[in-house]
Amino acid sequence: MFNNTRIMFLFILSILFFSCSEKKINSIQFKISGITDSIYNGSYVFLANDELLDSVQIVDNRFDFMGTVKSPTYSRIFIKATSETKWFWLENTKISFFIPDHDFSNAMVKGGKAQEMANLHYTKNESLFRSIDSLYNVYSIKVNELSLEEKGHIRALSRSLSDRTIKNTQDFVRTYPNCYESILTLNANRRSWGSEMTDNLFSKMADSIKETKYGKLLKRYLSLHSNLEIGDNYIDFEQENMYGEIVKFSDLKKKYTLIEFWASWCIPCRESNPKLMELHRKYNKDGFEIVAISLDENKQKWIDAIKKDQLEWINLTDYKFNDNAAAIIYNVNGIPDNILIDEEGVIVNRKVDAKTLEVKLESDLY
C-alpha cells in the first residue's frame, strides 16, 4: 500500500515538475520529460519508431527528448541492454513519462489526445489483465501440485477472461472509431477478428483515420484478403526474387505446386526445410515445384538463410512481414504454413506435412 502511494505521489510530482518547466516548447514540437527509478542513472534510454531513433542518458533519474512528428506516431521508449519497453503515442505536445520501480511495462504516460485514448483503452481491460496474470502466476508456481481438474479450470477461466478482453477491445473500437488508438488496434487484430468484423468496424471510421498509416494497411488488407478453402481456385500474385526480378506465380506452377510461407527467423520453418528439399529434389523433374514466400523484411538475412539452407526452389518476397501480399491473400496467420495447388489451379490441401505430401506426390506423379 505504501509503495503504491509513493509511486502515485512521484507521478503527480513529475507532472507538476513538467508543467512548471521554465522553457516553453514550440507548439509544433514534442517534449518528453521522464522520471525513472535511480537504478537507471547513467544508462541510455532510446526513443524509436519507424522514422526516428534517438537516445539520451539518464541523469539524476530524469531524461528528456525533444523533436517533431508529422502526426501522432506509435513509438516506444526502451533501454537497449534489456527487453524493457513501453509503447505510447508520440505527439507534438508535452509528454510526461514516469517509470515506477524501473518497470517499463507499467510506465505511466500522460500526453496528447491519442495517448489519452490509449490510456482509456487500457483501463477498460486493466482488471482483466491483472486477473489473467494472477492465474498465470498460480499455474506456473503450482503446476506440479495442481490436479488435472484444477488445471482445466484455470485454463477455462483464463480463456473466459481473454474473451472478455477481446469483447471490451472491440467495444472500444466501435465506441471510439475516429481515434488513432482504434485504427491501430483494428489493424493489429484484423486476422484474429476476421475480415467481416474488420470491414464492418473500418467502414464506420472517418476518412481522416482511414488515410493514416494503419488505415492504408487495412485498406490494402481488405482489398487482398480472401477466405480461400480447399476446392477453390488459386489467386495469382507476383513478388520479387532474390535477384530483384518480379515474378508472377502463374508462370511458375506445375502439376503440383506448394506455396510455402516461411521466414529466416522462423525456427520451425528452417527445421522443416531439409525434408522439403528432399521432396523437391526427388519430384521436381516429374512436375512438382515449391514457391517459397518469405515474410522477411531484411533482404540480406533472407538471402543468407536461402544460401545456408541450400534452398533450390523458387524464393520470393515483398519485404513486408505480416503485410506480405501473398500471405494476406491466402490468410496466413502464422508460419510455417502452405497451400498445395494442382495443375488446374485448384487448392487441394492446406498446412500439409512432409509425410502426407510425399504420399500424395508418390501416388499422383508416378
Please give the Cα distance from 314 to 167 (Å, whole number).
Answer: 42
The pLDDT-based confidence of 105 (bands split at 50, 70, 90) is: confident
- Residue 6 scores a pLDDT above 70: no
Q: What is the structure's pLDDT at 133?
A: 86
Q: What angle do CA 37, 39, 42 make, to 5 degrees?
A: 105
Q: What is the structure's pLDDT at 115?
A: 97
When mean pLDDT is compared over 37-41, 60-64, 81-85, 102-106, the highest value belongs to 60-64
Q: To which H or E segment does residue 175 belong?
A: helix 148-175
- Residue 23 scores a pLDDT above 50: no
Per DSSP, 346 falls in state: B
Q: What is the pTM of this model?
A: 0.81
Residue 279 CB contacts under 8 Å (≥ 6 apart), including other chains:
288, 354, 357, 358, 361
> In which residue are the cell numbers 489526445 written?
113
- Residue 148 scores a pLDDT above 70: yes
pLDDT > 90 in the chain, percent: 72
User: Which has the closest alpha carbon to 313: 341, 334, 282, 343?
Assistant: 282
> In which residue are the cell numbers 510461407 written?
261
Mean per-residue pLDDT over the chain, rounded = 89
pLDDT tens string 171-230: 999 999 999 999 999 999 999 999 999 999 999 999 999 999 999 999 999 999 998 999
CB 259 within 8 A of CB 327: no
CB 35 within 8 A of CB 16: no
Q: What is the structure's pLDDT at 27?
A: 57
CB 164 within 8 A of CB 194: no
- Pick from 35-39, 44-48, 66-70: least confident: 35-39
The pLDDT-based confidence of 12 (bands split at 50, 70, 90) is: very low
- Residue 16 scores a pLDDT above 70: no
Please give the Cα distance from 324 to 232 (Å, whole number).
Answer: 21
pLDDT > 70 in the chain, percent: 92
Arithmetic mean of pLDDT, 101-113: 85
Domains of the chain plus CATH, in order, are: 2-110 (2.60.40.10), 116-224 (no CATH), 238-364 (3.40.30.10)
Retrieve residue 8's grid coordinates.
502515485
Q: To which H or E segment does residue 350 belong?
A: strand 347-350
Residue 171 CB contacts under 8 Å (≥ 6 apart), including other chains:
124
pLDDT tens string 112-145: 999 999 999 999 999 998 888 888 888 788 878 8
The pLDDT-based confidence of 101 (bands split at 50, 70, 90) is: confident
Backbone angles phi, psi at 255, to 5 degrees: -60, -45
